[in-house]
Amino acid sequence: MYMAKKNYVSALFDFAYIPSYEKSIEYLATNLADPEEWEFTGVTEVKYSILRNYLEHIFRKVKQEGKVLYTTNNSHACFNTGLVTKNLEEIFALFESHKKAQKENNPPFVFKAFLKASDIQLLTVFPGNLPEIANFFQKPEELIFNPSCKLIPQIDHIIEDNITRFPSHMQGLDNAEIRRRLEGAITEVTKKVKTNYKIAVPQYYDNKIQLLLPLCLTAGSPNPDLALVAHKISPDTYTARTCLTLKMAYNNARLIVKPQSSWLKP
């Protein structure tokens, strides 16, 4: 789900013009949705970057699943954000048709509001069934690490393609030392996850479920430096060919559900 900015095209903004997006995001985060951390610690300005990333990719998922709902005359559209209020009411994004959609390549819709399921503004337009949430759980067994499986990492690829994600104090080390630390961290976390499956945090990427495992590369530190990305390649084998920074990992994991993890925090 995490992608380079130079290749990034927003599906949500291609779908709708969103005036006052910053205010709408802030309202959703602080007044409507059940409270959670939507920004990373240590930032100087809160822009709700986790929530922005979440909405973009949840929209892509529901669109892919055909769960964006339209009125019969296409005057309005809505989708289920997958978020809920404090009282567990589902929250939807409502849009109306863009009057100037044919001019200057404007998006077909204009964003109106984030609304809870009981809001009369939403029910007036969509009095019948509201759209369902995205489905990430076609195979629930993929969400849990299977301790009977082998984990075979592609060490060369992890180091060569992800060195800039490693802690800065490691990037100047020679490859042999980086390899030793990486192999040691992978061996350690493989032992841990076999006795505590909750260590593995699921993420959704490239239309499949993968598992994130914490890698502690800094001697003497109990905190992970990176997240190893593992996925099944056969019924009895996981492979891992990349790692993510913890911010990247949290963004990806939050798409499925708020991570309830002792190690993956915003």
Q: Is 171 helix (H, G, I), strand (E, B) or coil?
A: coil
Provide the β-strand partners of residue 203.
Answer: 210
Buried residues in 101-110 as b, exposed as e (16+ CB within 10 A): eeeeeebebb
- Hey, where are the domains in the chain? 5-125, 140-254
Provide the β-strand partners of residue 210.
Answer: 203
Judged by phi (left if over 0) then psi (alpha if -120 to 50, else beta), residue 196 lies in beta
Provide the β-strand partners of residue 238.
Answer: 151, 232
What single-letter DSSP state applies at residue 32?
Answer: I
pLDDT value of position 2: 47
pLDDT value of position 137: 82
End-to-end CA distance of the chain: 17
Burial (CB < 10 A; 0-12, 13-18, 19+), residue 203, is buried
Distance (Å, whole) CA 95 – CA 142: 34
Nearest to 184 by CA among 218, 161, 148, 232: 218
List Cα–Cα distances, 193 to 149, 154, 168, 189, in angstroms. Answer: 11, 19, 27, 6
Query: Which run of H or of E encompasses 130?
Result: none
pLDDT value of position 213: 97
Whether this model's pTM surpasses 0.85: yes
Tokens of 82: 């997958």
CATH code of the domain made up of 140-254: 3.30.2310
pLDDT value of position 141: 87
Provide the β-strand partners of residue 229.
Answer: 212, 242
Tokens of 80: 């289920």
pLDDT value of position 34: 96
pLDDT value of position 89: 97
Running along the chain, 266 residues long, what does each successive block of 10 average in pLDDT? 57 94 96 95 92 96 97 95 97 91 79 97 93 90 91 94 93 92 95 91 90 93 93 94 95 92 90
pLDDT value of position 26: 97
Q: Is 64 helix (H, G, I), strand (E, B) or coil?
A: helix
Binning the chain into helix, strand and coil, the percentages to the nearest 5 are 35, 25, 40
pLDDT value of position 207: 84
Distance (Å, whole) CA 122 – CA 133: 16
Q: List alpha helices for 126-209, DSSP H.
A: 155-162, 175-195
pLDDT value of position 5: 46
